[in-house]
Amino acid sequence: MSKKLYSPLPVGPVLLPNRLVMAPMTRSRAAQPGDIPVEINATYYAQRASAGLIISEGTQVSRQGQGYAYTPGIFSPEQLAGWRTVTDAVHAAGGRIAAQLWHVGRMSHGSMQLEGEKPLAPSAITAKAQVFVSDMKGGGTMAPAAEPREMTVQDFKQVRQEFVQAARAALSAGFDLVEMHGANGYLFDQFLATGSNRRTDHYGGSVENRARFLLETLDAMIAVVGAERIGLRLSPWGSINDIQDDEPEAMTLYLAGQLQQRGLAYLHIAEWEWAGGAPYPQGFRERLRAAFNGPLIVCGNYDGARAEAILQAGLADAVAIGRPFIANPDLVQRIHEGASLSVADQSTFYGGGAAGYIDYPTLS
């Protein structure tokens, strides 16, 4: 038995029974119309409740914040009722769950924007990337991201308020924590990165200016639900969704220091080296650990041995695992027992029904 992977970890007011976290993964199975979580989603998450913490799939804070078909929202009464079904099921199975709050920014498509409006972005630069759109037959297809428009002062106010409302709604729907999605080329990451943020006002240019919108939104959420209930996900050196950044270390360490001052519940780092991204520079993990001594979650194609090693080294407090949780609802038990892992069917990752979603077997 691993010494650290299966030890408890306090995260804000929540005690995780182990340090294996289920990473947020888009599965595009919200009910239509309305992008509403339903019983099949509750079953999916409850099956995986042995994770120390489940972080939900990205959940859009508004219609404008949506970029992928069939993803759930957290802004309508029907969506909140659906999420209550999910959180009740997870809690009944003994689990803990955080809501990942999401605004995709420029990673959207006209079919998902009200009246085909342009999506928002820090600057009017189109992402050379694709999004998953409905084929109007219950399935989906990939399509180029739409041309965005540069955000105005009014847009900043609106999006900040959407995150505040989403954080409040998530806790009212039974989530234990909320996670701001600041990673993987979505709205906040677009502000952080030099390639997508060409603004010349006080939201662009320096590290402090590019981080301003994220921190202003975070502070607005803290004022309503408390820092101890909020986590943040970042992806330094990530290039997914056409993100290019000249200062990933400076930005990440600056934000880590800001989170340390605010007493955030956790910092969640998505690593992309496993998928062709740049490796971390020597010493970066140690510098990150020095800047932020709260719960630090890492996510990057870890297995049980690598997870235990980074915990033992003191460079992380928990490890988030994604795709293996799809095909192995009992992943915590399998890693503990050294059992073989089932392999997920990638053709069922996005969209569809029960197949490839709730029909993977457990050891028992």
- Predicted confidence (pLDDT) at residue 116 exceeds the cutoff of 90: no
Which is the catalytic residue, given 186, 203, 302, 357? 186
Between the alpha carbon of residue 145 and those of residues 114, 205, 207, 265, the distances in Å are: 16, 25, 26, 33
How confident is the model at residue 6, as a pLDDT? 97
User: For the segment 19-56, what is each residue's pLDDT rounded down to a tens digit?
Assistant: 999 999 999 999 999 999 999 999 999 999 999 999 99
- Predicted confidence (pLDDT) at residue 1 exceeds the cutoff of 60: no
CA 342-353-98 angle, to 5 degrees, is 75
Q: How far is CA 57 from the centre of its chain?
A: 7
How confident is the model at residue 274, as a pLDDT? 80
Centre a 10 Å sphere on the Cβ of residue 304 and count the other Cβ atoms it contains.
20
**CATH domain 9-348 topology:** TIM Barrel (3.20.20)
How confident is the model at residue 16, as a pLDDT? 98
Nearest of 15, 42, 48 to residue 322 by alpha carbon: 48
Residue 212 has phi, psi (to 5 degrees) of -60, -45
The contacts of residue 31 (CB under 8 Å, 6+ apart) are 37, 38, 82
User: For the segment 239-259, what is each residue's pLDDT rounded down to a tens digit?
Assistant: 999 999 999 999 999 999 999
Q: Average pLDDT, stretch 143-154?
A: 97
How confident is the model at residue 271, as a pLDDT? 96
DSSP state of 117: P
- Predicted confidence (pLDDT) at residue 347 exceeds the cutoff of 80: yes
Q: Average pLDDT, stretch 3-10?
A: 96
- Predicted confidence (pLDDT) at residue 2 exceeds the cutoff of 90: no
Total residue count of the chain as it appears in this document: 364
How far is it, in rounded angstroms, from Cα 164 to Cα 159? 9
- Predicted confidence (pLDDT) at residue 3 exceeds the cutoff of 90: no
Within 205-359, residue ranges assigned H as helices are 207-225, 248-262, 284-291, 304-312, 323-327, 331-337
- The pair of three-digit structure tokens given for residue 302, joined into one six-digit string: 């870890």
- Predicted confidence (pLDDT) at residue 329 exceeds the cutoff of 60: yes
User: Cβ(75)–Cβ(166) under 8 Å?
Assistant: yes
How confident is the model at residue 173, as a pLDDT? 98
User: For the segment 118-128, what is each residue's pLDDT rounded down to a tens digit?
Assistant: 999 999 999 99
Nearest of 234, 262, 231, 236 to residue 249 by alpha carbon: 236
Centre a 10 Å sphere on the Cβ of residue 40 and count the other Cβ atoms it contains.
14
User: For the segment 193-234, what is each residue's pLDDT rounded down to a tens digit?
Assistant: 999 999 999 999 999 999 999 999 999 999 999 999 999 999
The fraction of the chain above a pLDDT of 90, given in percent, is 94
- The pair of three-digit structure tokens given for residue 229, joined into one six-digit string: 């209930």
How confident is the model at residue 275, as a pLDDT? 76
How far is it, in rounded angstroms, from Cα 187 to Cα 158? 14
Position 80 confidence tier, pLDDT thresholds 50, 70, 90: very high
User: For the segment 223-238, what is each residue's pLDDT rounded down to a tens digit?
Assistant: 999 999 999 999 999 9
pLDDT-wise least confident of 150-159, 222-231, 270-279: 270-279
How far is it, in rounded angstroms, from Cα 40 to Cα 46? 10
How confident is the model at residue 277, as a pLDDT? 80
How confident is the model at residue 319, as a pLDDT? 98
266 is catalytic: no
pTM: 0.97
User: For the segment 84-108, what is each residue's pLDDT rounded down to a tens digit?
Assistant: 999 999 999 999 999 999 999 999 9
